[in-house]
C-alpha cells in the first residue's frame, strides 16, 4: 500500500517509526512545513519524494492514503482536501479545532465513502485496551476517571523540544484525548459538563491551565486537570477508579492502585499505541470497513468539547 505523510514534526516522525514495523506499507511522499527539515526527515526514512505542498503529494502515482500530522488548525481543511482527491485519510488528533469543521469532515467522508479516521491513540494503547476488555467482559465498571495532562510549555515548543510553527490548545487538542476516552470507555455521552480556565498567556494567547468535569447519565464522573505550566514529568496519567479495582495508565503502560505493574504485552500485536492506531487505519482500508476511531465515531467527543468551550465562554 502506497501512502503519504503530511507533517515532518514530532508526531510525523512517530508515525514513520511505527510504520517501519508494519509490513506491506510504503511511504512514497512527505509533505512538510519547511524545506530543510522535510528533506532531512525524508532522507532519514528513505522517502523518495518530499515537498512543502500537500497538493503535490496527493498527485503522486499510486498514492492510496494520507496521514496528517500537521498543525491542528490545518486538520479539517487538509482532510477534506485529501478526500476530495480520492485518498483515504487519517487525521492526527483532533480532526478539527471547532465543531463546525468536524461536522464538515464527517459530511465529506459520507459523500466520498472513503476511510477517514482520527488519531485517538488512547483507544489503541494496550493499557486502555486492557481496561476496555475487562469492561466489555463485565468485570469492571468505571466510577471515576481522574486524569492529569501536564506539560511545561511556556514557549512554542513541540514534543521534541524544537520550535513549533503553530500554537497548541489544551481544550481542542489535549482534552480531546480524555473526553473521547471517557465516553468510549463508559459507552455513554456526558450528560453534564463544566470547564474552568486560568489566565491566558500574554504572547501565546491561550489558557495555560484548565479544569474539566464530566458526568454520564449512569453516574460515572471524570475529573481532568490540564496545564502548560507544570515543571515536572510531562504527559498524561489516567487513574481509573472502578467497582473492582483501581488502575493507572500512562500511555502504553498500566499499574494497579498500589503501583504494581500489570502485564499488557499480550493485549495486542504491539506495545506501541501509535503503531496499533496505524495498523487499524491500514486494515480498514484493505478490508473496506469502518475503523475504530472513525471520524463519525469521534464526533460525539467534538460535540462535548464544543459544550465545554461554551462553558469557558459563559
Give the three-state DSSP class for 212. Answer: strand
Say which residue the cell 504491539 belongs to: 270
Q: What is the pLDDT of residue 204?
A: 79
Q: What is the pLDDT of residue 157?
A: 61
Tens-digit pLDDT profile for the chain (314 aa)? 999 999 999 999 999 999 999 999 999 999 999 999 999 999 999 999 999 999 999 999 999 999 999 999 999 999 999 999 999 999 999 999 999 999 999 999 999 999 999 999 999 999 999 999 999 999 999 999 999 999 887 666 655 566 655 557 899 999 999 999 999 999 999 999 999 999 988 887 888 999 999 999 999 999 999 999 999 888 899 999 999 999 999 999 999 999 999 999 999 999 999 999 999 999 999 999 999 999 999 999 999 999 999 999 87
Domains of the chain in sequence order: 2-120+274-292 (3.40.50.720), 122-264+301-313 (3.30.360.10)
Rounded to whole angstroms, how far apart are CA atoms 79 and 60?
A: 17
Q: What is the pLDDT of residue 100?
A: 98
Give the E-state strand segments of the chain in sequence order: 2-6, 26-31, 49-51, 65-68, 88-92, 116-119, 142-150, 192-197, 209-215, 221-227, 235-242, 245-250, 253-256
User: pTM for this one?
Assistant: 0.94
The candidate with the shortest Cα–Cα distance to 58, out of 38, 34, 13, 28, is 28
* Bridge partners of residue 236, in order along the sequence: 149
Rounded to whole angstroms, how far apart are CA atoms 94 and 284?
A: 20
Cα atoms in the 13 Å half-sphere on the side-chain side of 64: 15
Q: What is the pLDDT of residue 113?
A: 98
Angle between helices 176-186 and 126-136 (to 10 degrees): 20
The candidate with the shortest Cα–Cα distance to 3, out of 93, 90, 72, 119, is 90
Amino acid at each position: 500500500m502506497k501512502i503519504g505523510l503530511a507533517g515532518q514534526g514530532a508526531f510525523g516522525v512517530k508515525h514513520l517509526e511505527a510504520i517501519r514495523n508494519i509490513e506491506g506499507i510504503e511511504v512514497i511522499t512527505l509533505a512538510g512545513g519547511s524545506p530543510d527539515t522535510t528533506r532531512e526527515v525524508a532522507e532519514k526514512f528513505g522517502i523518495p519524494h518530499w515537498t512543502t505542498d500537500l497538493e503535490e503529494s496527493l498527485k503522486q502515482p499510486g498514492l492510496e492514503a494520507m496521514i496528517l500530522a500537521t498543525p491542528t488548525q490545518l486538520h479539517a481543511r487538509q482532510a477534506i482536501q485529501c478526500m476530495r482527491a480520492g485518498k483515504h485519510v487519517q487525521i492526527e488528533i483532533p480532526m478539527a479545532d471547532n465543531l463546525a469543521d468536524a461536522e464538515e469532515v464527517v459530511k465529506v467522508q459520507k459523500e466520498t465513502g472513503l476511510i477517514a479516521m482520527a488519531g485517538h491513540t488512547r483507544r489503541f494503547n494496550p493499557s486502555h485496551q486492557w481496561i476496555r476488555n475487562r469492561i466489555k467482559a463485565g468485570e469492571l465498571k468505571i466510577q471515576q476517571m481522574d486524569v492529569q495532562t501536564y506539560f511545561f510549555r511556556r514557549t512554542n515548543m513541540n514534543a521534541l523540544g524544537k520550535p513549533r510553527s503553530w500554537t497548541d490548545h489544551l481544550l481542542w487538542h489535549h482534552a480531546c484525548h480524555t473526553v473521547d476516552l471517557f465516553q468510549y470507555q463508559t459507552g455513554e455521552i456526558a450528560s453534564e459538563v463544566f470547564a474552568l480556565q486560568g489566565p491566558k498567556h500574554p504572547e501565546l494567547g491561550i489558557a495555560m491551565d484548565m479544569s474539566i468535569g464530566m458526568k454520564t447519565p449512569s453516574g460515572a464522573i471524570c475529573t481532568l486537570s490540564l496545564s502548560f505550566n507544570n515543571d515536572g514529568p510531562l504527559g498524561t496519567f489516567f487513574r481509573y477508579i472502578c467497582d473492582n479495582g483501581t488502575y493507572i495508565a500512562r500511555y502504553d503502560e498500566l499499574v494497579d492502585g498500589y503501583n504494581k505493574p500489570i502485564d499488557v504485552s499480550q493485549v495486542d500485536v504491539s506495545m506501541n499505541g501509535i503503531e496499533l492506531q496505524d495498523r487499524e487505519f491500514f486494515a480498514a482500508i484493505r478490508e473496506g470497513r469502518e475503523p475504530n476511531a472513525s471520524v463519525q465515531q469521534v464526533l460525539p467527543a467534538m460535540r462535548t468539547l464544543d459544550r465545554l468551550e461554551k462553558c469557558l465562554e459563559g
